[in-house]
Amino acid sequence: MIAADDLIALVRNYNPKSNVERIADAYAFGREMHEGQYRHSGEPYFSHPVEVAAILTEQRLDDATIITALLHDTIEDTKASYGEVANRFGDEVAMLVDGVTKLTNLQLSSRETKQAENFRKLFMAMSKDLRVILVKLADRLHNMRTIRAMKTEKQIQKSRETMDIFAPLAGRMGMQWMREELEDLAFHVLNPEGRASIMRRFIVLQRESGDVIHRITGDMRHELEKARIEAEVFGRAKKPYSIWRKMQQKDQGFSRLSDIYGFRIICHSEEDCYRTLGAIHQRWRAVPGRFKDYISQPKTNGYRSIHTTVSGRDGKRVEVQIRTQAMHDVAETGVAAHWSYRDGVRVENPFAVDPAKWIANLTEQFDAEEDHDEFMEAVKLEMYSDQVFCFTPKGDVVKLPRGATPLDFAYAIHTRIGGACVGAKVDGIRVPLWTRLKNGQSVDVITAEGQTPQVTWLEIAVTGKARTAIRRALREVDRERFIKLGQELARSAFEHVGRKATDKALDTAAKHLRLNDRDTLLARLGSAELTAHDVVQAVYPDLAPDDGDKIPIGRAVIGLSPGQSFERAPCCQPLPGERIVGITQRGKGVIVHAIDCDELGHFEDQPDRWVDLHWHSGTHPAVYSATIDLTIGNDAGVLGRICTLFGEKKANIADLEFLDRKPDFYRLLITAELRDVEQLHSLVLMLEAEADVAAVERHRGKHHMRLAAQ
């Protein structure tokens, strides 16, 4: 464990004016509070907060953050109270410690709580003081470094949470080194064989080609000397997970993978950065499409650098990053650079982003979200995406995530322009709205009066801002129609459990589901954003069918190995009572197909993957989704009667999607939760007998569920 004097020395290296007494007092208080507590490894527990503080000294953070790191588990895990911490170390530290404690208690990967709601709380905590998340990231980094002492299932849970949440968050904040280390540590747990294979191939590559990094670094230094440019050159092999991810994305083997080596050139001035770029491109051939200028167009977290990929020795591609020292400092610490100290004063780095502005920019578009799941979708889209920079006809820059379309561009300019968009020109050429934009393109949005957002736009738009605005507009246009449809769905669902969908019951459901009022609930139900089952469960959770004497889902299929999991194939949606066969999938257990599924033809030459399966012959719960394709008359009350028929057959409607609307007919997909194929056949027969039903057939759809064998 790092001694108090050694930790203080680390702080004084970059901040000679730090309050040594406060840090020493925090060290003593934390050690006293954690006395008698031990980690899974057997070490004293206090060694963990000390290591977290040491990680934060590498980012040259202020005293309050270092003290918070030393105390970050005291309120949660010891007898210390918020008031005690506030009295001894001040309100600022107490607030930060309390913030870290609340983040720890969020359980971001918990299945019992809504992940979207926890993400909202995470961003709220960040908006109050970004240092809270800096401490939490350092806490997670040290826990991942020492994860081998934990039980296997806990290692896997923490690693998945790290890969899904904390690593991308570190990257979004500009702390790329931390993102890479968190990813690699998680990769070591989640796929040790994959990581080991990458390492083995690296060793073979070094044996065959020698020290490539040393040779290319020498070549680059030689070119810079010729151009009379003073700069430092560093080279490294990329992290195993970064290489693995590229192999998966490009579907290439290690031997065919390019740019597994990265080089960084630190220049004295911005002018030297561009001169260096010229020298590198003169000596080596630039790879088309792999150039990014983040100096002239910085990322929102302050990141500035020039990226280029060139063909080096023996045709091997290498990635080169060119930046100044000030740019590099921000690139290493990201948004945390705002708090960095050097020689006892806050560093005046011109590229450091104001955390308040950064978090405001990040959360601005989410504030208008009415639905937590939509918020989650928007968070992930923004967090995991890279950026492209496009231009308006006037030359203004619009930043968008990679994969964005002209429709996203239109909404990024203004919601009104997005809603009125009828087309777009990219670099002067008319293109479809679903076109993927590339760096540097000029986009001219074409609008028309009277245009309104279309349902199909949700499949085109990528950004959270655009999708949120489209959903809101569609809800407003269709609100009355969806409310009426929701009333019919609610009536049918409540009658299914022997109750009535009274105004009071619907008000109660709306309150439980955190919706503004009854009409909002019905509109969400009518637009299939809520299921009727969710609404009934919100009011009568005890009226769910008693499945105590029915076949548990995990034992519904016979023929699996103990502990083996299975999925119902989305292509054929097999139901109990149908003949089935299993196809083994690496990492996914067994995919269960109906015996007549067309997709099975793809596996005819792989007989070793086929598994003989059959459904349990007992009574199954009504949880297996099947989709019916219906064409019905467009008359008043028809859809309500159809929904009532589903209720009469004890089939809960889980989803409803309109495919086509004509003046005389509607075509729609209704997904119902059923017991078995007999219930499906009975339902189809009843629908065929209806005069207002023009056509009905089973639809092999996209819906599927994950099931675990017990």
Q: 493 exposed, middle or buried (CB, 10 Å; 0-12, 13-18, 19+)?
A: buried
Cα 338 from Cα 278, distance rounded (Å): 32
CA dihedral 676, 679, 680, 684 (to 10 degrees): 170
Say whether 153 is catalytic: no
Say whether 396 is catalytic: no
Using alpha carbons only, give the angle 513, 637, 680 rounded to the nearest 5 degrees.
75
Cα 204 from Cα 45, distance rounded (Å): 41
Q: Distance of alpha carbon 194 from its chain centroid, rounded? A: 22
Half-sphere exposure of 367 (CA within 13 A, CB side): 8
SS3 210: coil
Contact 24, 4 (CB under 8 A): yes
Q: Residues near 590 by Cβ (< 8 Å), separated by ≥ 6?
A: 560, 564, 565, 566, 567, 582, 583, 584, 611, 613
Contact 2, 142 (CB under 8 A): no
Half-sphere exposure of 654 (CA within 13 A, CB side): 15
Tokens in use for 312?
């080096």
Which of 58, 77, 507, 657 is catalytic? The answer is 77
Half-sphere exposure of 127 (CA within 13 A, CB side): 13
Q: What are phi and psi of 105, to 5 degrees?
A: -80, -5
Closest CA to 51 of 133, 125, 140, 131: 140
Looking at this protein, which amino acid is placed at residue 482?
F
Angle between helices 464-496 and 518-526 (to 10 degrees): 100
Q: Residues near 455 by Cβ (< 8 Å), separated by ≥ 6?
A: 474, 658
Q: Residues near 467 by Cβ (< 8 Å), separated by ≥ 6?
A: 374, 377, 378, 458, 461
Give all strands (DSSP E) within 406-544, no chain letters.
Answer: 421-426, 429-431, 443-447
Alpha-carbon separation of residue 144 from 105, 148, 182, 453 (angstroms)? 18, 8, 7, 46
Partner residues linked to 231 by β-bridges: 267
Query: Can you say whether the dihedral through the CA atoms of 44, 49, 50, 52 is positive or negative?
Result: positive
SS3 130: coil
Alpha-carbon separation of residue 561 from 87, 279, 594, 704, 710 (angstroms)? 59, 61, 19, 21, 10
Q: What are phi and psi of 136, to 5 degrees?
A: -65, -40
What 8-state DSSP symbol labels residue 548?
Answer: T
What 8-state DSSP symbol labels residue 308?
Answer: E
Q: 607 exposed, middle or buried (CB, 10 Å; 0-12, 13-18, 19+)?
A: exposed
Looking at this protein, which amino acid is placed at residue 238?
K
Contact 652, 497 (CB under 8 A): no
Which of 76, 92, 567, 655 is catalytic? The answer is 76
Cα 667 from Cα 644, distance rounded (Å): 18
Round the CA-based radius of gyration of the chain to a whole number and report it.
29
Q: What are phi and psi of 432, to 5 degrees?
A: -65, 155
Residue that has been written with the tokens 């777009």 in this structure: 424
Cα 360 from Cα 346, distance rounded (Å): 22
Q: Which residues are catalytic?
A: 76-77
